[in-house]
A = this chain, B = another copy of it.
């Protein structure tokens, strides 16, 4: 399978990127009060939905009184927004590293798919799910604000897809292809359970590539 991993040392570690972002104050340290709060919020928002999660639920999960939450955030919505903003920041950095780690277009695409699948189904999965499925719960002003951040992220995808299209390796329209991929990949959060079925993230990536007509015949995984 075409995946060289550490080629010289181009592949930057996930955790290294994370540390750098914490240092720059772009995401909160999960050890800090704010960081723990956001992590719990992400889990709760994904499991029960933003609206069904009360500030009392969240406070109990963190181990403080409900009123004390408002020392850290002014409103409940601000918590949701913070989860989304920090998630986008982290993932943009991760995806950027993923693209830059490869040279060929097909490899870049694979790296992007693999990275997004990891974002969705890995440690940041809760937050990613919130980002995708709790969109409507943001106020309109917050929505446009978050949307601006997403554009950077989306540009990464479009650049790679455009290259593939020019090279004749992609038939469909670039924007539509990206949107289809967004849907398909984010939907995995509802069904992909690595512990059962024995399908790894790499295996899943292979399947997506196979569906798009890349990488020849990939056999059945089961």
Distance between Cα atoms of A171 and B172 in the complex (Å) = 18
- CB-CB under 8 A from A176, the residues of chain B are 204, 207, 211, 221
- CB-CB under 8 A from A213, the residues of chain B are 171, 212-213
User: What's the least CB distance linking A85 to chain B, in Å?
Assistant: 20
Which A residues from 151 to 201 make CB contacts under 8 A with B?
A: 171-174, 176-177, 179-188, 191
Which A residues from 61 to 95 make CB contacts under 8 A with B?
A: none
Mind listing 14 A-B residue pairs with CB under 8 Å? A49-B51, A49-B136, A49-B137, A171-B210, A171-B217, A172-B207, A172-B211, A172-B218, A173-B220, A173-B221, A174-B220, A180-B207, A183-B184, A211-B212
Residue A208, interface by CB 8 Å: yes
Distance between Cα atoms of A99 and B185 in the complex (Å) = 26
Residue A52, interface by CB 8 Å: yes
Across the A-B interface, the 3 shortest Cβ-Cβ residue pairs:
A183-B187, A51-B51, A213-B213
Q: Return the chain B residue nearest A191 by Cβ.
A: B179
User: What's the least CB distance linking A121 to chain B, in Å?
Assistant: 13
| Oligomer copy total | 2
Residue A123, interface by CB 8 Å: no
If over half of A's interface residues share one DSSP class (helix, strand or loop), that class is named, otherwise mixed; here it is helix
- CB-CB under 8 A from A179, the residues of chain B are 184, 187-188, 191
Distance between Cα atoms of A147 and B174 in the complex (Å) = 34
- CB-CB under 8 A from A183, the residues of chain B are 183-188
Residue pair A210, B172 in contact (C-beta under 8 Å): yes
- CB-CB under 8 A from A49, the residues of chain B are 51, 136-137
Q: Return the chain B residue nearest A47 by Cβ.
A: B136
Residue A140, interface by CB 8 Å: no
Assuming A179-B188, A185-B183, A188-B179, is B222 touching A173 (CB within 8 A)?
yes
- CB-CB under 8 A from A211, the residues of chain B are 171-172, 176-177, 180, 212
Residue pair B191, A187 in contact (C-beta under 8 Å): no
Distance between Cα atoms of A181 and B191 in the complex (Å) = 13
